[in-house]
Amino acid sequence: MNTTEVLAARGVDLSYGSTPAVRDAHLSLAPGEVTAITGASGSGKSSLLYCLAGVLPPARGEVWFEGRPFSTLDDEEISTLRRERFGFVFQYGELLPELTVEENTALPLRLAGRRKAPALKAAAEVLDRLGIADLRERRPSQISGGQSQRVAVARALVHRPSVVFADEPTGSLDSANAGAVLEEFLSLARSQGTAVLLVTHDAGVAARADHHWTMADGVLSATGAAA
Amino acid sequence: MREFLLGLRLLLGSGRGARARFWLMTLGSSLGVCCLALVLTVPAILDARDGRAGGRDPVVFAGKPASGRTLVLERTDPHGSRPFNRVFVARGTRDTPGPPPGLDALPAPHEVFVSPALRDQLRREPNLKGLLPGTVRGTIAPAGLTDPNELYAYVGATPSDLIHSGATRALKSWGSGYAPNPAVDPSTLDILRFTMATLVLLPLAVHLSVCARLSAASRNRRLAALRLLGLSAKGTQRVNAAETVVAALLGAVLGIGEYWLLNQAMARTGLPGLKWYPGDGVPTAGTLALCLLGCPALAWFVGRASARAAATNPLSTRRTAIPRTPRIWGGLLLVTGLGIVIGYSLTGLTAHPADSSGINALLVPLGVLLTGLGLVLSMPLLSYLMARRLARSRSLTLNLAMRRNEVEPGSAMRVVSGLVLLVFSASLAQGVLVEESQITRSSSPSQEYGIPLAGLSAHQQQQLTAIPQLRAHALVMEPPFDPDAEGSRIPARALVATCGQLKSLVRHVEGCVDGKALRLTDPAVTPEPVAPSTVRLRQGTRHISLKITVPRQRALFTGYDVTSVDTPVLFPPSELPPGAVPASGTLILAGASDPATVRAVLDRIGAISPTADVDPVGVNVDGLQQISVIETLLALGMVMGLVVGAAAFLVSATDRAVERRSQVTALALIGARPRVLRLVQCAQVVLPLAVGLLLALLTGKLAETSYLVTGGGETFWDGAGVPLLAAAAGTVLLAAILGTLPLVGRRIDPELIRRD
Ligand SMILES: Nc1ncnc2c1ncn2[C@@H]1O[C@H](COP(=O)(O)OP(=O)(O)O)[C@@H](O)[C@H]1O
Ligand SMILES: [Mg+2]
């Protein structure tokens, strides 16, 4: 297992002031596999996710990316990691309203310094694979919620990251839409060999993952592999 | 009412963001109200000065003073650009009036009472003492002074000191009820009010309306939710207005407090050319009412108007961020206005510049107005076109920034317009100043001083001509006034001077021969018909007459712009009977025209002859004083406009940054460097602002030129103000850049990503 893990947490503790949010979490993500964490609201899922993404530093323990501990990387290096190797899907998409769908999608490539034309071409390909190529020129306010979540997925995958962090990615959608978006998201990620950390309070969503963990009061425990 | 309370309930119960917005609104409007109070109080400050000036103005009996009455003689000299007033008083034996305001008793002979500012000036410039014969016995109280900076003195004298001056009058009482020299002419005051209004009130209105509609997007979402819950459209608007009105009211009260502090501070430090007593700056009831009611009223209307879209069509609030081409007619106004303005400016290049007669009197203001209005109205269009052009650039920063401008020409754009208008009107205001100072300040390199010979002893005359700063001196002999003289021909006056003296009094002389009376003509001036005359001379104690004929032989000369060398006859001193001096006429002294020399010469003249009525030819002391007041007020207006404009800008930029926190955090999370985010933030506001300010400078200067061309002065292209304006515009830009920088933090806070 150790040879195939891309991201790993060992004994991670996290607290806000004196309130502990995550206690002694051990977790590892493998390329092309989906890991889901479920749990009640406030149980510490988001905290753990941002800790694994290098945004919140752990109070104790260590997070490793491709064998390198985060504690040895400076802020600039972690930013570069997030820009080039990580992807994010947020609950409300957080697309920039003034950019077109295509520009939103190309953003990670542009931030990484890619030229405009190749970046837009790559974006168009991902949008095409998600079946929303015809929305390229629209703005986020001109498309539906399900469509904008697909754009958010496209943005998270366009630069073929090693890990995608998804915090309630379908939390803002109805169940039919949520199912479809999640299906496309996970299959595209798997085909790219991207590891996905999926955080949700919806057990139905977690059922599609390769590994399933549960979180309660900051304590992470394995539920075993999903069916 | 119910909706109003609901609005308050929502305000109190809402989260950190809403409370931050409330305080931003409150502090923003308080700053605006503070400036408003100051602008509205300026006329009251000027009135208070003029009131006290009127209250001490001597009321005199007409004609020659009867014996035994109290005598008064007023003298005003320029001290730099400030008038220095001296009132000589000789106490009489009957009907003695009471003391003037600010003194306890009429000064006794050789007692001097000075204003506190003059007392300080005497310490710095002991030479001034010559103008005040006597001993300083005390200071004049504020009730007798226009402002703490005034140079004013009461000088006690004996009747015999004063009686020989023609200007001495018998004093009836103090206080004529109106000011002899108002701080600012009523006609200038109107222009000033208008300029101040555009400089301050317009940015102020923009600022207040920006404050009243902060966080439009998140607020609209909330209002739309209320509407969907069944609140009526009107009710929804009222809910929104509740918050803005409470903020504005609180802001108004705070603003008055800020003004009170400002008044105390400014009355102590003063402004160049304008100082006032703290009591003068107390806002009137009307001002207070306008501030306390006007600001919330404006907020009420803006609050209701800004909620209209959300209230009438709640489903539309999501559909923002679609670029819409702004209307084109602002651009048409700008082009029309600029056409007119450029047309008039171009006539300034030709031999026949347009004047202000007929249709021009209408077209020039129209062109200026259209240019200013068009400039503001076409700012969104210009910004939109520029954004669309630049958004397609290959740079990510420009792409992000300009896409934002494309869809949101909203509040930031209004702020930009306010600042742009400010620069525009400031350059126009400079035109007014240039015009004004052309009238008041002579541009001649030579300054002449005319002193009536009556009342000057031979010894004093000798001392005066020996003042070291002077370049030349001469006498003008005048025939006594003769009521029987024929009307069409003027009895000849003569300049008593050698060719050398004449040369140093004028620019250029041709054909002068010493020892001979000559006909003096200036080729640029059509000569008036002159008749021979008889002047009276004093030879020791004897009076003799001298006949002056109009000679044939001519000497040509070109005088300075403002000069008293305009006599038709040049009379050589050697031809005067030995020891004889003219009994009536003027001693003319000439020196350099720089303010320091002028002041030094006036001090020396005063020391030699304290009561002499010196005429600094061409210098209008009251005009100079007015210019410095006007300059100060305009500068004050501009500073306030800039402060208000920059505040509006910061308030709106902060607000937008708060609104966009989640998106910016998302950007930071996916790896955007803080540097990129800052650059985007900067480019987004600075580019349209820079373009706008540059345009405002250009069009403002053009408008100024068209005004100056038709004003008929000599300066058409006033470049002197450009560095100042450019510096002001640069300051605004810099403030804008600095203001946007802290809006992007270094630390990423995932809390700011929206969750449920
Ligand atoms: N910025 C914060 N400051 C203080 N406490 C926080 C903060 N963010 C989260 N918490 C607390 O930490 C715990 C875990 O929160 P979170 O990770 O958001 O849980 P989840 O994502 O499972 O809903 C909760 O009790 C929450 O109240
Ligand atoms: Mg969460």
Section A95-122 average pLDDT: 91
Judge: B666–A111 Cβ closer than 8 Å, yes or no: no
- Among B320, B394, B755, the residue with its CB nearest the CB of A141 is B320
Closest-CA residue of chain B to A94: B663
Residue B400 at interface with chain A, using a CB cutoff of 8 Å: yes
CB B609 within 8 A of CB B167: no
Q: Which of the residues B320, B398, B407, B669 would you substitute to probe the A interface, choosing the one with the greatest number of A C-beta atoms within 10 Å?
A: B669
Residue A103 at interface with chain B, using a CB cutoff of 8 Å: yes
Please state at what angle helix B411-440 crosses helix B186-196, rounded to 10 degrees.
160
Ligand nearest to the CA of A50: 1
Which residue ranges of chain B lie beneath pLDDT 50? 317-319, 411, 756
Residue A96 at interface with chain B, using a CB cutoff of 8 Å: yes
* % of chain A at pLDDT higher than 70: 97
Say yes or no: CB of residue A43 within 6 Å of ligand 1. yes
Q: How far is CA B478 from CA B189, B534, B536, B546, B614, in A?
A: 40, 9, 8, 11, 17
CB B151 within 8 A of CB B85: yes
Say yes or no: CB of residue A44 within 6 Å of ligand 1. yes
* Per-residue tokens: B16: 């950190």
* Residue B301: burial class (beta carbons within 10 Å; 0-12, 13-18, 19+): middle
What is the model's pLDDT at position B720?
67
Q: Which protein residue has the closest C-alpha to ligand 1 atom 21?
A: A46
Ligand nearest to the CA of A37: 1
Judge: A97–B663 Cβ closer than 8 Å, yes or no: yes
What is the SS3 assignment for B474? Answer: strand
Ligand nearest to the CA of A20: 1
What is the model's pLDDT at position A1?
44
pLDDT in tens, B504-543: 888 888 888 888 889 888 887 777 788 888 888 888 788 8
* ipTM of this complex prediction, to 2 decimal places: 0.84
What is the model's pLDDT at position B483?
59
CB B447 within 8 A of CB B616: yes
Residue A20 at interface with chain B, using a CB cutoff of 8 Å: no
Q: Would you report the helix, strand and coil content of chain A in percent, each value rounded to 5? A: 40, 30, 35
Read off the amino acid at residue B204.
L
> B484 CA distance to ligand 1 centroid (A)?
108
CA distance B672 to chain A (A): 6
Judge: A97–B756 Cβ closer than 8 Å, yes or no: no
Closest-CA residue of chain B to A159: B670
Atom of ligand 1 lying closest to residue A45 CA:
22
Q: What does the alpha-carbon distance between residue B603 and residue B152 come to, in Å, rounded to a whole number?
A: 15
CB A207 within 8 A of CB A226: yes
pLDDT tier at A227, thresholds 50, 70, 90: very low
What is the SS3 assignment for B535? Answer: strand
Residue A108 at interface with chain B, using a CB cutoff of 8 Å: yes
Return the DSSP state at B74.
E
Q: What does the alpha-carbon distance between residue B156 and residue B90 come to, in Å, rounded to a whole number?
A: 6
Q: What does the alpha-carbon distance between residue B169 and residue B88 come to, in Å, rounded to a whole number?
A: 10
> A16 CA distance to ligand 2 centroid (A)?
15
Residue B320 at interface with chain A, using a CB cutoff of 8 Å: yes
Say yes or no: CB of residue A218 within 6 Å of ligand 1. no
CA distance A118 to chain B (A): 11
What is the model's pLDDT at position B383?
82
Q: Which residue has the higher pLDDT, A153 or B659?
A: A153
Q: Which protein residue has the closest C-alpha to ligand 1 atom 20?
A: A42
What is the model's pLDDT at position B339?
93
| A225 pLDDT higher than 50 | no
What is the model's pLDDT at position B700?
82
Say yes or no: CB of residue A161 within 6 Å of ligand 1. no
pLDDT in tens, B111-139: 999 999 999 988 987 878 888 889 999 99
Section A166-175 average pLDDT: 87
CB B349 within 8 A of CB B390: no
Q: Which residue has the higher pLDDT, B243 or A210?
A: A210
Q: Which protein residue has the closest C-alpha to ligand 1 atom 24?
A: A42
Q: What does the alpha-carbon distance between residue B736 and residue B745 come to, in Å, rounded to a whole number?
A: 17
Global confidence as pTM: 0.65
| A165 pLDDT higher than 70 | yes
| A140 pLDDT higher than 80 | yes
